[in-house]
Structure 1
Amino acid sequence: MSHGSMASTMREQVAVDDLGSDHFTSRVDPARMGNKANIAYGGCTISIGVQAACSTVSPKYLLYSATGNYLGPALTDRKLKCTVRRVRDTRTFATRLVEISQDQDDGKPRLCMIMLADFQVKEEASLLVYSAPPSMSYSPPEKCLTTQEATEDKVQRGVVTKKLGVLYLATFGFNSRFFETRGCPETIAPNNLYGMAKTVKTPQESLDLTSKTSADWFRCRHPLERLQDRFSALGFILDAALSFIPLTHSSKFLDDAGPCSSLDFALRFFTAEINLDNWHLREMKTIAGNDGRTYTEARLWDQQGNMVATMNQQSIMRPLKKDIQAAL
């Protein structure tokens, strides 16, 4: 890959180069997606942090938790740098503290994220094996349209304008480079284009905000042979949309709110049996909103109904300034 080029596969997108002494740098610059501000998509930063942490443990240690805080926006014109601290190494567990930063124009580093990653050697057996099911029954992937097909269908039926359809695909197009995604028609985001089509009625109009769901099936377009690349890829994709799903489920979009971005995250894996060549179901629900923040979760299942991972986030979501002034 040439310097400054964009990744064409997920493996390239989440790759890091080892600088020695537990210092790493992303192979490509982070990119923008689903944000009205000109800053990088947060999933880029999470995935690079996960990759760096995984690069400092033996493959027998399996990632089960990556939690952290966004400390500032990442820029799209420079690489991410990671410094990994080895906090714990036992026969069963390993813990890594990862600082992710970018160099400013004056050469000084600025922190973008801090992450704590926990690993465990695979247990010989489990006493209990269980997981909660999705909130409702969803159409299987073969009966769902791809993002491109669904958008073109809405344009042809006059549900949305061609201009809006093009804007939607451009806003979220970065993800489609790496994943094939098929939206579940029973849910909200595939119908109202994540809130961009504000007047479109969805099948969940009668539900309250915390019962509404957006769900889709996705699979990786290119093979990911290493488990750490799969962990990183899920860190990349599960970050998507969580900060503004409360808007989506309220028939609103980013232009209806003031600052709206993720503050923290908790990425948890419940199995290392992950094959992203196969379809996985992602369901997103918002849980609470107050004090200018929202709390939203994405859950992920394989086609056999086993929960693979979750991502929870608190996000800032302030009203527009004009709405605040009108209320005074």
Structure 2
Amino acid sequence: MPESLEDLVDLLDLEKLDTGQFRGRQPQTSAQRVFGGQVLGQALAAASATVEPDRIVHSLHGYFLRPGDTSVPIVYEPELIRDGRSFSSRRVVASQNGKTIFYMSASYQVPERGLDHSDPMPTDLVPPDEAPTLASVFEAASGRKAEDWNKEWAALDVRLAGLTGRQFWIRAAGKLADDPALHACVLAYASDLTLLGASLLPHGIIIGDKRIQPASIDHALWFHREFRADEWLLYDQASPSASGARGFATGRLFTQDGRLAASVAQEGLIRPVGLDLDD
């Protein structure tokens, strides 16, 4: 994974090919497969490059079809589905070695005024400057050094905001340019981190437990209000259901002043491979 925010921004800066496709490079990583958030962020970058800058992404829906190979660049092919007076639609296919590994639909809108309401932000949170880093929580829970976490995830600053393990403060670990499309791509990247773990918490299991085979299956993200991905966002997570070796989780992302910026939903594989389900 990118070891710094600069590396993450470079990762989201795709190479445009003569065919109209885009090519995304791979970071240095010890992971065996491509992080789902990377594919989400890069696919959104490819789609956004084909849309007029006055149109802002408001939703995306993606399916992970095959594990990505971390040693091979990913090619993204955006399809221009529709450009209307207010909305634009794009579909992006991501492939490696001629095989589709992911596809995504995204919708963009010209900003306009309308009715406005939202859920309130949760209370009784640990402030970001007092909250433990996820690297330190990872070290305490797994016994692996915090440096191992930072080698892969240092592009993001993630901290535990509540005692339940379902609330996190999250932001880019540095300053980003004033480009709404870039902030959306960084948030898409970050939204895949920690979410599937919410479906394991009711069973006393954490992501990384060797008794579980985890993988993202699909991912949906709705952008509600303006935000900056380099400012603190509260990632409030829940898991309404787990069944059939799949976990379903939802998330809400609030700005620090209490505005609901985005909502997330994901279903992922949480297949038991060494777990006695009769216990």
Indicate whether the TM-score tops 0.5: yes
Alignment equivalent of 1:178, drawn from 145, 155, 158: 155
Per the alignment, residue 232 of structure 2 pairs with 279
**In 2, Cα distance between equivalents of 1:256 and 1:146:** 23
Aligned length: 275
Given that 1:30 and 1:45 are in contact with CA atoms closer than 8 Å, whether structure 2 keeps it comes out as no
Aligned CA distance change for structure 1 residues 317 and 276 (closer, same or farther; 3 Å): closer
Per the alignment, residue 102 of structure 1 pairs with 96
Deviant stretches of 4+, over 6 Å: none
Equivalent residues in 2 for 1:1-328, closer than 5 Å: 9=6, 10-26=8-24, 28-30=25-27, 38-103=32-97, 109-123=98-112, 125-127=113-115, 129-148=116-135, 164-166=143-145, 169-171=147-149, 173-175=151-153, 177-188=154-165, 214-225=166-177, 226-253=179-206, 254-255=208-209, 257-271=211-225, 273-320=226-273, 323=276
Secondary structure of 1:142's partner? coil
What amino acid is aligned across from residue 239 of structure 1 in structure 2? D
Alpha-carbon deviation of 1:137?
2.5
What amino acid is aligned across from residue 164 of structure 1 in structure 2? G
**In 2, Cα distance between equivalents of 1:30 and 1:45:** 12
Alpha-carbon deviation of 1:131?
1.5
**In 1, Cα distance between equivalents of 2:275 and 2:136:** 37
**In 2, Cα distance between equivalents of 1:186 and 1:100:** 38
What amino acid is aligned across from residue 219 of structure 1 in structure 2? R
Secondary structure of 2:199's partner? helix
Given that 1:246 and 1:294 are in contact with CA atoms closer than 8 Å, whether structure 2 keeps it comes out as yes
**In 2, Cα distance between equivalents of 1:259 and 1:165:** 19
Aligned CA distance change for structure 1 residues 287 and 134 (closer, same or farther; 3 Å): farther
Per the alignment, residue 197 of structure 1 pairs with none
Given that 2:3 and 2:155 are in contact with CA atoms closer than 8 Å, whether structure 1 keeps it comes out as no
**In 2, Cα distance between equivalents of 1:30 and 1:250:** 33
Aligned CA distance change for structure 1 residues 322 and 270 (closer, same or farther; 3 Å): closer
What amino acid is aligned across from residue 269 of structure 1 in structure 2? F
Secondary structure of 1:222's partner? coil
**In 1, Cα distance between equivalents of 2:235 and 2:28:** 22
Tell me which moved more, 129-138 or 275-284.
129-138
Given that 1:30 and 1:44 are in contact with CA atoms closer than 8 Å, whether structure 2 keeps it comes out as no
Given that 2:3 and 2:150 are in contact with CA atoms closer than 8 Å, whether structure 1 keeps it comes out as no
Task: Choose 1 or 2 for highest CA Rg.
Answer: 1
- TM-score computed with the length of structure 2 as normaliser: 0.88
**In 2, Cα distance between equivalents of 1:90 and 1:21:** 25
What amino acid is aligned across from residue 140 of structure 1 in structure 2? P
Per the alignment, residue 208 of structure 1 pairs with none
What amino acid is aligned across from residue 156 of structure 2 in structure 1? F
Alpha-carbon deviation of 1:80?
1.1
- TM-score computed with the length of structure 1 as normaliser: 0.76
Calculate the aligned-residue CA RMSD, in Å. 2.6
Given that 1:30 and 1:80 are in contact with CA atoms closer than 8 Å, whether structure 2 keeps it comes out as no
Aligned CA distance change for structure 1 residues 258 and 282 (closer, same or farther; 3 Å): closer
Aligned CA distance change for structure 1 residues 187 and 255 (closer, same or farther; 3 Å): closer
**In 1, Cα distance between equivalents of 2:253 and 2:147:** 23
**In 1, Cα distance between equivalents of 2:183 and 2:170:** 13
Alpha-carbon deviation of 1:310?
1.7
Per the alignment, residue 106 of structure 1 pairs with none
Per the alignment, residue 198 of structure 1 pairs with none
Given that 1:49 and 1:98 are in contact with CA atoms closer than 8 Å, whether structure 2 keeps it comes out as yes
Given that 1:32 and 1:39 are in contact with CA atoms closer than 8 Å, whether structure 2 keeps it comes out as no
What amino acid is aligned across from residue 48 of structure 1 in structure 2? Q
Secondary structure of 1:255's partner? coil
**In 1, Cα distance between equivalents of 2:110 and 2:192:** 26
Identical-residue share of aligned pairs (%):
24
Alpha-carbon deviation of 1:94?
0.4
Stretches of structure 2 lacking an aligned partner (at least 5 in a row):
none
Alpha-carbon deviation of 1:180?
1.8
Secondary structure of 1:94's partner? strand
